[in-house]
Chain A
Amino acid sequence: GDSVTQMEGPVTLSEEAFLTINCTYTATGYPSLFWYVQYPGEGLQLLLKATKADDKGSNKGFEATYRKETTSFHLEKGSVQVSDSAVYFCALTPRGGSNYKLTFGKGTLLTVNP
């Protein structure tokens, strides 16, 4: 079945540091890929997405590129802020058919210190 593996963390960085959170996936065909963010006490919010190979999703300074050859969708940000402290989830949905269930990674806790 489909699966998502992401670095478990926790990740602790200083403000303005560079962030990478690794995500790899196993799926048949060409899934759609997502990064969700969960701030303390809140539900998950979509951060960015990519729906085909070589697509780059971007939002709020975060970027991730859909790499079919390495089955990866790593999340990056050039300069993190304290307000980026949250849990980040990589996820996929299979393409086509009637299965719209999200498969999540286990999440990565990011703490950014001033």
Chain B
Amino acid sequence: DAGITQSPRYKITETGRQVTLMCHQTWSHSYMFWYRQDLGHGLRLIYYSAAADITDKGEVPDGYVVSRSKTENFPLTLESATRSQTSVYFCASSDGVSNQPQHFGDGTRLSIL
């Protein structure tokens, strides 16, 4: 089935560890996005990508790394996790037309101890 899937759904790790969140979409959408959702802040954009090998910073990029070697995948890496990165992370994709919506995955709940 077409869609956008995130893995894992839940992750617990320790400060200083590296962790990678995966995102895969089957629509061949050109644009992909990573958001974090925190109480009191709503959704904040971390990074986005307009196409394979093209990425750009969003509102809160510090401490995160992204790559996009294939159109369908957009992994997000926390190179050295900190407690402040405990959050729910959402991946989204769109076809890049401004009047069309973004499609969201079900999220990854990440806890950093």
Contacts and interface: CB of A to CB of B under 8 A. Distances in A.
Nearest to B106: A43
A76 B31 CA distance: 31
B94 A49 contact: no
Contact of A32 (B33, B43, B98): B98
Contact of A45 (B41, B104, B107): B104
Contacts of A99: 98
Interface in B87-104: 90, 92, 94, 96-99, 101-104
Given A42-B106, A101-B33, A49 B101 contact: yes
A105 B94 CA distance: 19
B92 to A, nearest CB: 8
- What does DSSP make chain A's interface, helix, strand, loop or mixed? loop
A45 B107 CA distance: 12
A17 interface: no
B106 A101 contact: no
Contacts of A97: 98
Interface string A19-37: 0000000000000101010
Interface residues of A, number: 26
B107 A93 contact: no
Interface size class of B (residues with CB under 8 A): 20 to 34
B98 A43 contact: no
Interface in B9-65: 31, 33, 40-43, 45, 48, 50, 58
A23 to B, nearest CB: 12
Contact of B102 (A98, A102, A105, A107): A102
Nearest to A96: B98
A93 B98 contact: yes
Contacts of A104: 42-43
Interface of B: 31, 33, 40-43, 45, 48, 50, 58, 90, 92, 94, 96-99, 101-107
Given A45-B104, A100-B96, A101-B45, 4 more contacts: A99-B98, A100-B97, A100-B98, A107-B42
